[in-house]
Amino acid sequence: MSRQHASMPGVEQFDEYFHKNPAPKSLSKHQALTREFVQFHLESSPNRRIALVTSGGTTVPLENQTVRFIDNFSAGTRGATSAEYFLEAGYAVIFLHRQFSLLPYSRHYSHSTNCFLDFMEEHDGDDERVVVRKEYQEKMRRVLHQYQLAKKNRLLLLLPFTTVTDYLFQLRSLAVSMQPLGERALFYLAAAVSDFFIPRERMEEHKIQSREDHAGGQGAGASRQLVINLDPVPKFLSTLVHSWAPKGSMIVSFKLETDPALLVAKAEQALKRYQHDLVIGNLLTTRKWEVVFITRNGGERWLRVPKARRSKSISGVEELVGKAERKHEAQHVDLEGGTVTEGMEIESLIIPELAIMHTDMIENGK
């Protein structure tokens, strides 16, 4: 796999990308749902802000009739959790998520770590009811209440995608549909988007065959190796900022790194390059406990969950917390640990901060 420097793509380059690669089947349906959602909120509560939250990983199919694909680690925890805090802060949320990744509210009771069956029991009595176990009643009632409130008030629109191309088509379509919102739109780009893909013109139609049967196309050759050439996915952020998104809207992107020595510099570079409002930097191993806000005024501001309230994580590495800090004068939002031991979600710190920044942008201009 070779890396070539891609020049900054403009609308034309994306036109070509969208011309050469197939649109997802759901595109027009999702566009109609989004327009309706935006219109509903513009008419029913003219001051309502809407956050577009992107979440989860994108796939890179190896075949058109896809059997195999490249994927990444993201389960959509950041996006699903953030969506809940945006709703709590009074936003309506469009949740553009990888199909089958975590969803707001149901995330508390899904997947193997929080299997919903473990929260229930057969009622101890004559009837045949199934009930929520006593110790989980309070939390489940709270989650259920929030979920139903969001549903009743039409505050949450769930839109799934699968491939990186689906994602880009939908991002453009959503951003354009959100234009009537102007500065009341906020983009929160937490999805882990692939940097490489196979363009349609070079993609195998059918399942790539094993051994020497696979003749022609990408995997040609007599050896049993499969060699795949990937092209760079055009960088969409600049086009989103300058063409697709409403003028004056707030645009927040994430930068993910694994090397603490790179994080701040790469986040600063992204902000400079794409000219948006905020880059939130995070390390793979500490992302549940700390993030850094890189702002246009040169700020490096760390948000951290206090030690006593950090959730346990098998893949996390606590010794790396603090290791990516660069500036001596870096600011911190560290909270007192106190005596509460229940895990604190870092998104409960991130979203209120963003809401304040967004208010400031609306009231004072960018």
Q: Is 193 in the site for ligand 9Z3 (CB under 6 A)?
A: yes
Could you tell me the smallest distance in angstroms from the CB atom of residue 321 to ligand 9Z3?
15
Which element (helix H / strand E) includes 239? helix 237-239
Task: Output the six-digit token pair for 130.
Answer: 């199934």
Minimum distance from residue 335 beta carbon to ligand 9Z3 (Å)? 20
CA proximity to 52, closest of 151, 159, 144, 152: 159
Identity of residue 156:
L
Q: Smallest gap, in angstroms, from Cβ of residue 88 to ligand 9Z3?
A: 18
Judged by CB under 6 A, the stretch of 140-148, 185-193, 319-327, 352-360 that binds ligand 9Z3 is 185-193
CB 304 within 8 A of CB 296: no
Q: Are 171 and 205 in contact (CB under 8 A)?
A: no
- DSSP states of 173-232: HHHHHTGGGGGGEEEEE-SB--SEE--GGGSBSSPPPSGGG--SSTT-SSSS------EE
In the complex with ligand 9Z3, the residue whose CB is nearer, 39 or 311, is 311
Contact between 159 and ligand 9Z3 per CB under 6 A: no
User: Judged by CB under 6 A, does residue 76 bind ligand 9Z3?
Assistant: yes
CB of 287 to ligand 9Z3, least distance (A): 5
Is the Cβ of residue 166 or residue 204 nearer to ligand 9Z3 in the bound state?
166
Concatenate the DSSP letters of all residues of 267-320 into one string: HHHHHHHH--SEEEEEETTTTTTEEEEEETTS-EEEEE--GGGPPP-SS--GGG
Per CB under 6 A, the list member of 59, 253, 285, 286 interacting with ligand 9Z3 is 253
Touching ligand 9Z3, residues 275-304 (CB under 6 A): 282, 287
- In sequence order, the 6+-apart residues with CB closer than 8 A to the CB of 25 are none
Which part of the chain contacts ligand 9Z3 (CB under 6 A), choosing from 177-185, 254-262, 329-337, 342-350?
A: 254-262
- From 85-93, 239-247, 251-259, 299-307, span contacting ligand 9Z3 (CB under 6 A): 251-259
Q: Residue type for 221, please?
A: G
Q: How far is the CB of 223 from ligand 9Z3 (least distance, A)?
A: 33
Q: Does 75 bind ligand 9Z3 (CB under 6 A)?
A: yes
Nearer to ligand 9Z3 by Cβ, of 237 and 355: the residue is: 237
CB of residue 362 vs ligand 9Z3: minimum separation in angstroms?
Answer: 24
Distance, in Å, from the CA atom of 145 to the CA atom of 149, rounded to the nearest integer, reads 6
**Footprint of ligand 9Z3 (CB under 6 A):** 74-78, 189-190, 192-193, 253-256, 282, 287
